[in-house]
Amino acid sequence: MAQHDAVEVISAKRDKAELSDSQIDWVIDAYTRGAVDDAQMSALAMAILLNGMDRREISRWTAAMIASGERMDFSRLSRRTADKHSTGGVGDKITLPLAPLVAACGVAVPQLSGRGLGHTGGTLDKLESIPGWRAALSNEEMMAQLEKVGAVICAAGDGLAPADKKLYALRDVTGTVEAIPLIASSIMSKKIAEGTGSLVLDVKVGTGAFMKHVDDARELAETMVGLGQDAGVHTVALLTDMSTPLGRSAGNAVEVAESVEVLAGGGPADVVELTLALAREMLAGAGVTDVDPADRLADGSAMDVWRQMVRAQDGDPEAPLPRARETHVVDAPASGTLTRLDAMAVGLASWRLGAGRARAGEAVQAGAGVVWHARPGDAVTAGQPLFSLHTDDPERFERALASLEGGYDIAADAASYQPEPLVIDRIS
């Protein structure tokens, strides 16, 4: 590997120059080893935030982060693989019904997930509300479960893209999280290292999403799709709305319960719509076009895979889910049509009730969260329950209620509500 020095690389990007392949390879390797310190990498990250990177630079940066660790290989499985990544939102429980549904259609789903930080719990937090379920699997256990069951949702090991783990923590405290080249390479380095054959990206946009504006979300989606293509991974992205929270619940156990409803052939229409849209993209990416995933929801086979998947990780799919000790109901203040339900307001309320964490490693409450009894477009009557708030700590209600203030609108005229599409665009 060619030798460079940190000041040379920082200065080049500060002056809006393109970084060479050897500069990128060197700086990622040196930072991972500790030869480039946090102060120097912070300066480089800020220069990237301000001056950007072209497609070649981002692709090389991603490849260098992948090369910093191990890469998984699913080629010995008896069926093709497909994976999905969501940029995160409120009530986004889609992975839970999606993985067993796609597996029921004949495609293996190796879903390496994380724990949430911020206004919602992560996929692992939700699943850990199931009695006995464990997130930590060895690579051998993961491969065996994929072959036998067809789906696994588990914690990512430390060996995948360790450079990204180190850089992500740095970006979080240096005001450089928003750099699209670094967001895209962070997500894609882990997903490509996971070794899946095809990838579907759910890029959220709206008040409850990381990307608030469609143009920014589209730029991120296009960048990530390009990175997947450059790495030889069939990749598509859907831009989906996150101004309104998904489904009717945000939390951990409450979202598991809603996911099971979907697998049983019911559940909220928007959760079913997005689950099926992503399933069809995953199946198409894996070359499976003769199966309609809606049929697998209807015939119970997706539910069968869910139960097998949970049991394989020591969980009890039949056990009652945890319930919070305290509940507070918010009644509708007026009659009319619910015309707006702000995703961020709901997400913050759920977080303040204990469903999310403010610092890495903090415990979350399995039963905490928010359930809403109406969605935009629904008629409501003054005095009817609008929200149910759940927590083990009743002193949390006051701040959660403050989060919901101004977070919804009820209009007397139903015609004032104009629904927005859930799937905004497709990037391929």
Residues annotated catalytic, as ranges = 85, 164, 171, 186, 190
From the list 129, 338, 136, the residue with the least C-alpha distance to 251 is 129
CA angle 32, 38, 44 (to 5 degrees): 90
CA atoms within 13 A on the CB side of 79: 24
Please list, in sequence order, all residues whose beta carbon lies within 8 angstroms of the beta carbon of residue 71, skipping any fewer than 6 positions away.
Answer: 160, 192, 193, 195
Rounded Cα gap, residues 176 and 55, in angstroms = 19
Neighbours of 378 (CB within 10 A): 14
**Residues 243, 124, 249, 301, CA torsion sign:** positive
DSSP secondary structure letters along 259-308: HHHHHTT-S-HHHHHHHHHHHHHHHHHTT--S--HHHHHHTSHHHHHHHH
Neighbours of 348 (CB within 10 A): 25
CA angle 360, 363, 367 (to 5 degrees): 135
The conformation of residue 52, written as its DSSP 8-state character, comes to -
